[in-house]
Amino acid sequence: MQKIDSYDFSGKRAIVRVDFNVPLNENFQITDDTRIRAAIPTLKKVLEKGGSLIIMSHLGRPKGPTGKYSLKHIIGAIEEKLGTKIKFAPDCMGAEAAELSKNLKPGEVLLLENLRFYAEEEGKPRDLAEDASDDVKKVAKAEMKEKQKEFTKKLASYADCYINDAFGTAHRAHASTALIAKYFPNDKMFGYVMEGEIVAIDKVLKSPVHPVTAIIGGAKVSSKIAIIEKLFDVVDNMIIGGGMVFTFIKAQGGKIGKSLCEDDQMELALSIIEKAKQKNVKLYFSGDVIIADAFSNDANTQICADNKIPDGWMGMDVAPATLKEWEAVLRASKTVLWNGPVGVFEMPKFANGTTGIAKILADITSTGVFTLVGGGDSVAAVTQMGFADKVSYVSTGGGAMLEYLEGIELPGIKAIREA
Ligand code: AMP
């Protein structure tokens, strides 16, 4: 494994997997360019050091080539941010892609069309009938594996070295995110986005300064179980908020009205409470909540204890008094990890808890607390409030970050690290 800072790029063509899966509006304008901005330092570094670039990414979930998901829509944004004109290969496997990459001169940039126009990128057969027999599926999968090898080999043939800077897809063993690495045994490395993510998450998981507090929110307990259990090995305090807290409250005999609840997870919720005790982790639930008589921004509201919610009402956000208690815990911490909103923050009436957490984190970061924010909705909350650069690190990879936190070795990381 090489390092981008010490690698000699002069005269070399670097194929870089980035995550340019940006949201586009109906006029194909980018509505959030965070992911493009994030990759620019890596791309500029290669160019500054005398290399040329072949940029590859996916966009959306196309089932085949389609104008809607063409990366041509983002050429202008890349050119503007990189400060240079770029070439575009309208088929990542076409003769033009091979020709253009062969002729790249130092300082030049080539963007390949959406990798997912080919099923080979993900390695899953696309045209299999749902009711196909197991034998047919087996043959199709084996054929796809062979095709994927050819696809990967061809991508690798365009370049002299490989950089993975797409943390958002690091949890997928796709052609461009993992399989390609083996063609560059001595010339593969992480880009700065990947390096930054790994360092930030390891700062919480592997060498945190205590006390460590995790705030886990969001809708479902079931999707966060693995992380909660893994974090018990690391944290001193865990604050559980959002919709998922009501499964814990009901499991302990509380009245939760018509709040969100996963009845089939109640036993698990009790076992989590038990595990927290064994591991000496202090659990904080919501205490007081803002309840509503409908799932609507126009609903009537009142404040009540989270275990005494009247019939027909539901918990929608943490109440100010509880937020104050959480704040004291956060202010006494040295490391804080936040994943998931603590209320239905999409509705302004129930966003105060989530924006409150964002404000507290921004504030304690300025006093030296290491604060890591990850997971789509909490990232959206800090970004919307303009606090993204006021916390220590905002993780761009939702699913990848969660899997990394769960302790899973991500294929995209493994492929670069292994000899
Ligand atoms: P997740 O993707 O699991 O992190 O969940 C995020 C979603 O949880 C957001 O859409 C929130 O609106 C939702 N959420 C947070 N708190 C509540 C709540 N008390 N009741 C219902 N949904 C909630």
What mean pLDDT is predicted for residues 258-275?
A: 96
Q: Quick one: pLDDT at residue 407?
A: 87
Tokens describing residue 35: 């992911």
Write down the mean pLDDT value for the chain. Answer: 95
Q: Quick one: pLDDT at residue 397?
A: 79
Give the Å distance between the CA of 379 and the centre of ligand 1. Answer: 14
Give the Å distance between the CA of 59 and the centre of ligand 1. Answer: 26
The per-residue pLDDT for range 15-33, each reduced to its tens digit, is 999 999 999 999 999 988 9
Among 323, 377, 378, 382, residue to substitute to test ligand 1 (most atoms within 8 Å of Cβ): 377
Q: Quick one: pLDDT at residue 174?
A: 97
Contact 340 CB / ligand 1 (< 6 Å) = yes
The per-residue pLDDT for range 131-163, each reduced to its tens digit, is 889 999 999 999 999 999 999 999 999 999 999
How many separate helices (H) and strands (E) can be counted in the chain? 13, 17
Contact 344 CB / ligand 1 (< 6 Å) = yes
DSSP-assigned letter for residue 241: -
Q: Quick one: pLDDT at residue 376?
A: 67
Tokens describing residue 42: 């890596």
Give the Å distance between the CA of 367 and the centre of ligand 1. Answer: 29
Do the bridges between strand 335-339 and strand 212-216 make them parallel or antiparallel, or are there none, so unpaired? parallel
Contact at 8 Å (CB) between 342 and 241?
A: yes
Catalytic residues, which ones? 35, 220, 376, 399
Tell me the C-alpha distance between 237 and 177, whole Å.
35
CA atoms within 13 A on the CB side of 196: 18
Contact 353 CB / ligand 1 (< 6 Å) = no
Largest Cα–Cα distance of the chain, in whole Å?
71
Give the Å distance between the CA of 339 and the centre of ligand 1. Answer: 11
The per-residue pLDDT for range 364-397, each reduced to its tens digit, is 999 999 999 987 688 888 888 888 899 999 987 7
- Residue 9 pLDDT > 80, yes or no? yes
